[in-house]
Amino acid sequence: MKRLFLFLFVSLIGLAPAFSQFEVDKLNATLGDEINVTKGKIVTIVGETNGKIYALANKKDKYFLNVFGSSKMNLISMKEIKMPSTAKKELNFERVELLDDKIYLIGSRYIKSKKTYVLNAFSISENGQVKQGAKRLFSVKTEKHSEKGQFFFKLSPDKKQIVVMHATIHSKKNQAHYQVRLFDKNLVRIASKNERVNFADRKNAELNIADFDVNIHGDLFVAVSESYYDKKKKKNFDNFVVFAYKKAKEYQKEIIKVDLSDNKVLNSSIMANSDNTLNLFGYYAPSKNNGKAKVGLKGVYAASIDLKDNKVININFNDFDYATKEQIIGKRKAAKDKALKPFYSIRNIIEKEDGGLLLLSESGMTIYGKTQNALVVAVTPVTYIRNEVIVTSLDRSGKTEWTRVIPKKQKASSQTLSVGLAMGAGASNGGVAMTVGASITIPLAQMGKGPEYLSFIPFYHNGELLVLFNDNAKNSGVTKVDDAKFMTRFNNSVPTVFKFDKAGNVKRIDTNGVDKNRLVVRPGVYHRKNPGHYIIYASRKSQNKLGRIILKGSQKGNATL
């Protein structure tokens, strides 16, 4: 019976191409009509509103707005997005966003003559028509193109506001600079904050803008960790603070210090709840006696802040147990209490019914190869690696209940134009290093070329967690990381599910080998409605379908993040 799970979104091509529905175990998978178009693959599912689903498709340097009906998920229209002639020059396509019921194209441009990096937004109609008149979201002065920095984006829980951050390093001034702005659904600026961090008197300094978020009340939060080594005192100083900008206080900056207890935060995620509580999660490493921090991950930390008085309610540092380390680094290293490599990023945070949380962290790397000149452009090969997933269950106080490891190895390679790679996930200059946690996402320009087949999709309801990913068919039955083989051939991959109950008991659910007629889900292309409801995209060569996967008992609707 468990093997019937393959019908989640597989073996659909042999059936009638009309609207199809399946109910297997506690999962209900519904897929729409065949998308009979040759104008590219869907790279982003923008959102759903007023009975319609909006998606972005791409083919070479062209983008198309796809409009689907919500009930049957049938394609209503597909129109090329054509920029006004005045906006075409040097515009880098960043993203398409749906704010309430308004669709926007957001693009960036570096103006060399003015040494200015700008971010513009354009309204888009349902027929793909880009309206005249750009809305300027950012205009950042920079000394040179290589230091123009990067933009990062987050939507509010109700999808009616958007937060945009810009971050960069100024070499001449020896400082890091970041700005964060909040806009409403009409892209009217609500708040704007500008921060500069000077490193002139510090050596080997590190600044990590771990995460930023906005809650349902319209309050802004930025989590920042700062580290530097004082040679005179022979000590490494690690500071971790949250900057809060609350609407009720007219967005005045409030500084909330978090005591690390001689630990260093290596990465962090924040979750702003509707109950006026801010939760922080991430990985940490203890400091050595010489003051320098260890490179590896020691465990997971969790902290809660009461925003009524900005006090840290509790903070817990949970070391990885032996079983978790053994799965990932082996018995010998685990017995010596070696740390894990710092390649993990928190991909998903799921709130449980008892007030606790599930953290899903994925091991990942992005490798840029040697740039090659091809005619008039320079091309850089890029390899994306997404490996094992650590699932951590925390109780409501932030203490670990159980930790499990999903054995997974995935790899995809593609090529990109050598533009905008200067900052990427981070930047460094003159002994100063700066990273931004939000930059782990795959650039839009790379989607549709392989990376979207990697990673996973989690489904959760009432204590049960199901994690779905594309796997190598030879990994059937594999439960240890060392035994897993890489999945590199997407069309020959098989859908695999790991199912967890409240106590952390896990079952692996495999499918019956490679099916050449089977649609392949793209975990990098989905829209999350709530923890148990996703709009997904599955395809194979020229065959494409949009669909939904809903866990029984979970209701349709927007997610509360």
- Mean pLDDT, residues 446-471: 89
Helix, strand, coil % over all residues of the chain, rounded to 5: 10, 55, 35
> Phi and psi dihedrals of 457, rounded to 5?
-130, 125
Q: How far is CA 183 from CA 94, 162, 214, 219, in A?
A: 17, 5, 11, 12
Which residues pair with residue 471 across a beta bridge? 494
Report the range out of 283-297, 386-400, 443-457 with the highest average pLDDT. Answer: 386-400
Number of other residues whose CB lies within 10 A of the CB of residue 382: 21
At 126 the pLDDT is: 79
Q: What is the CA radius of gyration of the chain?
A: 23
| Average pLDDT over the chain, rounded to an integer | 83
Model confidence at 440, in pLDDT bands (50, 70, 90)? low
DSSP state of 338: P
Report the range of poorest mean pLDDT among 52-61, 216-225, 417-426, 455-464.
Answer: 417-426
pLDDT tops 50 at residue 19: no
Q: Is the dihedral of CA 125, 130, 132, 137 positive or negative?
A: positive
407 residue type, one letter: P
Which residues pair with residue 111 across a beta bridge? 116
- Mean pLDDT, residues 32-47: 84
Helix (H, G, I), strand (E, B) or coil at 509: strand
- Mean pLDDT, residues 436-444: 62
At 208 the pLDDT is: 85
Check if the beta carbon of residue 450 is closer than 8 Å to that of residue 412.
yes
Output the pTM of the full model.
0.88
Model confidence at 15, in pLDDT bands (50, 70, 90)? very low
pLDDT tops 70 at residue 393: yes
pLDDT tops 50 at residue 302: yes
CA distance 398 to 302: 5
At 299 the pLDDT is: 93
At 317 the pLDDT is: 94
Chain segment 150-195, per-residue pLDDT in tens: 999 999 999 999 999 999 887 777 778 899 999 999 999 999 999 8
At 553 the pLDDT is: 78
Percent residues over pLDDT 90 in the chain: 48
